[in-house]
A and B are shown apart, each in its own frame.
Chain A
């Protein structure tokens, strides 16, 4: 092959490397996505460890294979030889076949071994003797997350959890719902919220605020179906759920519903996924709104199908505080 082609190939190779370096460099700066997000719960930690363990093997194999590929095509390129010239007619080698069967088997066994070694710490929450235990139900709905606490309190969009406790999550969705997937990247892996089924997960986290996302395509607003997990001191947590249980129809509950549920598809003054709601008389009509959220309407899902009467009260209490008219002054 003429030298020009070799040089061109080298230029192309360099260009590829350069282009790949850009994201790689950005990735190295801070946690740019070479590892799972920083872990704030023991199970998330162990998943991260497992990731690093696998990464070492995979990295070595990657370098060997890609390195071998580059070396072989450089070393055995045709160069000035004639196109018809043959290489040695080697048809194979049983010993080599065995070698590159056995070595990967050993490597993969090591990986599986390590996974099984870490598995109990990921799957099984610390026992009651080791830490306080709390159970919170996580319910996926189109397009919001609803949380139920042991004393019957409910919150939407934000889970309040006690710091240091082992928090058991019962993850589910009402039977009439679609699949969702509950994911708090810093607190562990995903667990699907499947209608009519309850799955389990857990975390044990320090005080902090963590982002949660829905990770299963669940309809038109799936992309924005996120939530917040607020881990607070135990006293604060207890005060919160007690207050909630005492006033399940309170204005704060209603506000949460409006912001977490209705606002994912409605704006007051402009059409969004659904129509603008500013000035809509239903916002002042308890029966009307109950009917609407319990049964849905055409494209609108039955977002409040399993809400308690108090939750409906809360909603209407809040919507009554909204302006009577659209901002532009027209009654809708």
Chain B
């Protein structure tokens, strides 16, 4: 743990060795450096993203035309389940943890996370959990087939083989990994901020990661409980969810969604934190309404614990409950709107540069807004009775998770790549990547709203021929392959940048936060010395001071 004592540069240098990036495989296997752990997270999640993406393309290929025979029934359901579970548990949640690991100590001026070994543990558990989850495909009877929500009794009494057990075990391991990581974030952020960095001077991304971590700590135990009951029902003859013996299938849904809804905010809040970092920098203005943005993060997190049954409107809850969950869900829309309006106000009278990180951020606002608005239909429960479990929901969740979280992740990758690797990703390829994904994304998912309204249920491996369904489905498939091409451009960009990318200075974007104060990439000990923090934009202060000295 970094204590005040070794803030002296040479002492730090001695303790941390020369270069945190030196050394080959063993150095990576044994690392406890937060930057390395962060990068391990990011590379691993990008690998899983490729897996999840290929699974998605398989589904879209099957759905391109009616009565297709490419990937049917059980196989389709396996792919569907592992796609969703991978994207959520192996991509978005951990890649945000990856950003957090790399950035939190740098942004708050610390030498490392509070518990570096625990940090390494959380990464290795994550990798293990991912492997266990994916090995579900090789179990007898194939992978789990219940969707990422894995409702019972389908997933308990009606799913033979061990695929489902691998799924449960994988999620168990991933929960422990996230829990350990979350505790580490909380302790780090509470205790290791550099001098002067009060709660209203920490970067908004730190607010977001702190809230993310608290939410994980609150809801993961519920998931673990649910998974354990499920495993007991499957393997040890208990009857928590078995109606034949007095158990309750609805209980599982409550347990799952008490975790599951906060989970969606776990996936979006840090993404919004990334957006709140990037927009001011490229608009050359401070974030509009720092406190409003920070408090709305906390507000969203709090209310996210009170809305879970909006996923259960069709299960026959009493109208009173339906009404409560409609109202609480509407309440959440308000702080979400506050964030969007503050970002827009940050653009107002700015000096906006359209570098790739900014393009992804602006794309995020445009696309996420649609996802948020479609959520209002779903929160109004009588309307939800028409829309739930249709392609409308698939469209909604991709607008918020792909158009939201993943767009922000790409914004963050383009933005912090120079800090992570010392080279800037190529701007032309970056813009091409963005354009292809933005167009492909909308072509894929916009028509899915219409499909849902027309009556196409979700989680179907095929549909009957006829009418406009065929048109929308084929459009959607074309869009998904367009996105895939965009992702290949990203891979190309990464490869080219690694070979011949432009070298980055400490602060290539003229940013505001502390991670840009040190070299790109930072030394093992992060900082030689730190400025005193007197507001939320220390780097701007530093730049202005240098400017002033130059003209003296």
Contact = CB atoms under 8 A, between A and B. Distances in A.
B154 A54 contact: no
Contacts of A194: 249-250, 315-316
A69 B344 contact: yes
B171 interface: no
A76 B347 contact: yes
A80 B254 CA distance: 56
Interface string B145-189: 111000101100110100000000000000000000000000000
A91 B158 contact: no
Contacts of B366: 66, 69
Nearest to B73: A220
B77 interface: yes
A35 B386 CA distance: 11
Contacts of B352: 72-73, 76-78
A33 B344 CA distance: 31
A190 B462 contact: no
Interface in A1-47: 1, 5, 8-9, 12, 15-16, 19-20, 22-23, 26-27, 30-37, 46-47
Contact of B77 (A8, A175, A190, A217): A217
B457 A72 contact: no
Interface string A80-112: 010111111111110011001100110010011
Contacts of A105: 334
A63 to B, nearest CB: 11
A69 B341 CA distance: 10
A13 to B, nearest CB: 10
A221 B373 contact: no
Contacts of B145: 219-220
Contact of B377 (A26, A51, A273): A51
Contacts of B249: 179, 194-197
B58 interface: no
A215 interface: yes
A216 B73 contact: no
Nearest to A29: B468
A223 B385 contact: no
- Which size class do B's interface residues fall under? 35 or more
Contacts of B153: 177-179, 195
Contacts of B390: 215
A185 to B, nearest CB: 4
Interface string B326-354: 11001101100110111011011111111
Interface stretch (A116-124, A234-242, A254-262, A306-314): A116-124
B314 interface: yes
A322 interface: no
B383 A47 contact: yes
A191 interface: yes
- Which size class do A's interface residues fall under? 35 or more
B460 A223 contact: yes
B337 A100 contact: yes
A189 B334 contact: no
A198 B344 CA distance: 48
A224 interface: yes
Given A112-B330, A175-B243, A219-B158, A23 B475 contact: yes
Contact of B373 (A58, A83, A101, A191): A58
Given A19-B439, A176-B244, A73 B154 contact: no
Interface stretch (B26-34, B279-287, B409-417): B279-287
Given A58-B377, A183-B457, A27 B351 contact: no
B463 interface: yes
Nearest to A301: B158
B465 to A, nearest CB: 13
Given A101-B334, A183-B457, A89 B286 contact: yes
Interface string B445-464: 01101111111011111110
A28 B515 CA distance: 50
B443 interface: yes
Interface in A186-238: 188-192, 194-197, 199-200, 211, 213-224
A189 B389 CA distance: 11
A181 interface: yes
A61 interface: yes
B370 interface: yes
A214 B160 CA distance: 22
Contacts of B160: 298-299
A65 interface: yes
A33 B348 contact: no
Nearest to A66: B366
B344 A68 contact: yes
Given A34-B453, A97-B289, A118 B353 contact: no
Contacts of B147: 217
Contact of B351 (A47, A61, A86): A86
B286 A90 contact: yes
B292 interface: yes
B382 interface: yes
Contacts of B468: 26, 30, 32-33
Nearest to A121: B382
Contact of A90 (B285, B333, B377, B458): B285
Contacts of A303: none
Contact of B451 (A33, A77, A81, A119): A33
B351 A85 contact: yes
Nearest to A273: B73
A213 B457 contact: yes
B321 interface: no
B450 A33 contact: yes
B362 interface: yes
A97 B338 contact: yes
A115 B382 contact: yes
B386 A101 contact: no
Given A108-B333, A191-B314, A178 B472 contact: no
Nearest to A185: B455
Given A1-B353, A194-B249, A47 B449 contact: no
A34 B435 CA distance: 26
A67 to B, nearest CB: 10
B349 A87 contact: yes
B368 to A, nearest CB: 10
A200 B383 CA distance: 17
Contacts of A36: 386, 453
B390 to A, nearest CB: 7
Interface of A: 1, 5, 8-9, 12, 15-16, 19-20, 22-23, 26-27, 30-37, 46-47, 50-51, 54-55, 57-58, 61-62, 65-66, 68-69, 72-73, 76-78, 81, 83-93, 96-97, 100-101, 104-105, 108, 111-112, 115-116, 118-119, 122-123, 142, 171, 175-179, 181, 183, 185, 188-192, 194-197, 199-200, 211, 213-224, 273, 298-299, 301
20 contacts: A16-B439, A54-B376, A66-B366, A83-B353, A83-B510, A88-B285, A97-B342, A104-B334, A108-B330, A111-B330, A111-B376, A111-B380, A112-B380, A115-B381, A115-B382, A192-B316, A216-B151, A216-B389, A220-B145, A273-B73
Given A76-B283, A115-B326, 6 more contacts: A87-B283, A116-B323, A192-B314, A197-B243, A217-B146, A218-B154
